[in-house]
Structure 1
Amino acid sequence: MHMTQSADTSRHLRRVVVTGAAGFIGSHLSRALLEAGTTVIGVDRRGQQHDPLAAANLDELTSFPNFIPLTADLMNCPLEPVLLDADAVFHLAALPGVRPSWGPTFDAYVAANIQTVQRIMDAALRLRVRRVVLASSSSVYGATDGSSSKETDRPGPLSPYAVTKLAAEQLCLAHANRPNAATSVMALRYFTVYGPCQRPDMLIHRVLTAALNQTPLQVFGDGLQQRDFTYVGDVVRATIAASLTPAANTVINVGAGSSTSLSDVLDIARRLTGRSVPVIPSRARAGDVPATLADITQAQELLGWKPEVSLAEGMERQLRRLQEAG
């Protein structure tokens, strides 16, 4: 399915809610929906005054007359007025990060990643919202032998963050599978998403910035760890398709279906920038997995979707955006 086709299909969505709209994926998703003429209620607890990254992402959306920004915390704001009359809810808001989820911050992960799901599903069911699309994570699979992960594989999360994402999936599906539930669910297990406006703490942003500025890059592990890097534009197309497909109440992998080592990412960055990437080796971190690789058969069959942007092409687009930002 090509970008133009996906944009056309999103015209069926008259009014939607996007949580985490000021975030990396949420802002890209919101923009695609807005460009297709959908009214988007963009909910995020990060205010433009206090968070420069959120402000930059929201700035690109506020020029659209069909964008309704709402600064609110999903843990305590009244949800029914927000979800009222929505065709779908894209629940992307979450507290990210494997390493910070260990220890005293776990309560915040439970609140942001599980309790908000309970509140959203409760409100969606009462209002009979047709579809909730949940952003989940490939981290629910845990360590694998390097072969591709299928949705039917037994999950084995290796970090508190991954546990909360698996719990969110199960909670959504429990609500949707209740007798006479009017709200259906699609939970998307995003593999490593990258692209323009990626968070500064994420790998490809860090690699490209290290090359451009010649600042040392801290590399955890031996550099042989592999990730299924998925371009944000491809992820957006899959996410919109998940709101429209007749299939429901299941989980779907959203990945490139190919795996690339960190060493190869460094090589691509060197080629694109013409500069070396200074590296500081560090020990592997608790909760990090050696490899991720998506089996994307379900996405192809149920969403009519396949990834279109190669890692080198996607990194080049992200690099251009970084250079434009100066």
Structure 2
Amino acid sequence: MKSLITGCAGFIGSHLAEKLLQEGHKVIGIDCFTDYYPRSIKENNIKNILDHENFTFIEKDILNITQFPEVDYVFHQAAQAGVRASWGKTFETYTLNNILATQKLLEYYKNRNIRKFVFASSSSIYGNVNKLPIHEEAPKSPFSPYGVTKLAAEDLCSLYYMNYGTPTVSLRYFTVYGPRQRPDMGINKFAHAALDGGVIKVYGDGSQTRDFTYISDVVWANLLAAESDVVGESFNIGGGSRISVNDLIGLISGVAGKDMQVKYIEVQKGDVLDTYADVTKAKKMIGYMPWVGIEDGVKKYVESIIHQ
């Protein structure tokens, strides 16, 4: 099997590339090293697979590519990340990297004989919800420009499936964490602060909750979606580990064995109050269930930082 992974040097993309190589796939990875966080971090993410005989790396912007490789599977992980950075002048970057790049890939592969186009969507498409857990049929009311672009990209996947039969599946990730997590993410900041003795900044009062999903569960969900016969569907991919920010800090503090200093600051625009995924549909249709709970996941993550 031959697979294309966009955003392959990122957090999720690099883990997915490693897993597919282990499964015997030939993997072509595309990444343009956007400056959202340091290039050196992304280079480190893929250092162990660059010389793999079945891995080919292409350093290019999707929007500047005229011909994509012929593959069996497309895993579209590339995106401009970050809720808080998506306001104002930078919104254009989000429209280019999240909407137009997705449309270009879909347009290229619409008439090609691919087995599956797996799109990395986001729980941000839901916005603030009144009922938890969140089912896939819940209203889509993004609370940030980032969420708007992810919903638009997911809608494009649905349109290409309905009009051209492109075998798309969208996976709505709920707060993914684990080794190689982006430096701007909460668990990353909290864990490093605990180990280094720094002060943790918490937006709001810390009572907001998140459904945290460990990276290995997300990688597994991608493989399940790709290998299933299901097309034209969207699935919640959550970890079943809804926890408040305050309780998360306590958990990390316990694992690290250190007390943590917390500074509460004002709520940031675009941040939702709560997320919690109903994964019943994913369980029934593609066989997905999260395996790593928040306690085990945090322990694995903190230990990975210690042994870096």
TM-score (norm 1): 0.91
Amino-acid identity (%): 38
In the TM superposition, 1:163-182 aligns within 5 A as 163-178=148-163, 181-182=164-165
| SS of structure 1 residue aligned to 2:110 | helix
Deviation per residue, 1:252-304 (Å, 9 max, x gap): 00002341001111111111111012111101111101100000001101111
User: One-letter code of the match for 2:69?
Assistant: L
Structure 1 equivalent of residue 42 of structure 2: 54
Q: Do the aligned partners of 1:128 and 1:182 also contact (CA within 8 Å) in 2?
A: no
2:233 to 239, 244, 250: 250
Match of 2:179 among 190, 196, 201: 196
Deviations 1:90-110 (A, max 9, x none): 000000011110000111100
Q: 2:119 aligns to what?
A: 134
Please point out which of 58, 63, 69 is paired with 1:75: 63
Does residue 184 of the first structure (1) align with residue 167 of the second (2)?
Answer: yes
Aligned partners of 2:27 and 2:98: how far apart in 1? 22
How far residue 83 of structure 1 moved from its aligned partner, in angstroms, is 2.9
The residue number in structure 2 matching 1:122 is 107
Which residue of structure 2 lines up, in the alignment, with residue 37 of structure 1? 24
SS in 2 for 1:59: coil
Asked if 1:237 is matched to 2:220, the reply is yes
Secondary structure of the residue aligned to 1:42 is: strand
Deviations 1:54-76 (A, max 9, x none): 11011022142111111010011
Q: What is aligned with 2:196?
A: 213
Structure 2 residue runs of 5 or longer lacking an equivalent are none
Q: How many residues align?
A: 306
Unaligned stretches of 5+ residues in structure 1: 1-13
The amino acid across from 1:45 in the alignment is C
Give the distance between the partners of 2:50 and 2:75, measured in 1 at CA: 19
Q: Which of the residues 270, 290, 299 maps onto 2:282?
A: 299
Q: Secondary structure at the match of 2:63?
A: coil
CA distance in 2, matches of 1:304, 1:238: 9
The answer to whether the 8 A contact 2:241-2:293 is kept is: no
8 Å CA contact 1:197–1:318 kept in 2: the answer is no
1:257 & 1:143 partners in 2: Cα distance?
18
Q: TM-score scaled by structure 2?
A: 0.97
Residue pair 1:83, 1:127 contacting (<8 A) in 2 also = no
C-alpha separation in 2, matches of 1:16 and 1:243: 10
Alpha-carbon deviation of 1:146? 5.2
RMSD: 1.4
Q: Distance in 2 between matches of 1:153 and 1:76?
A: 36
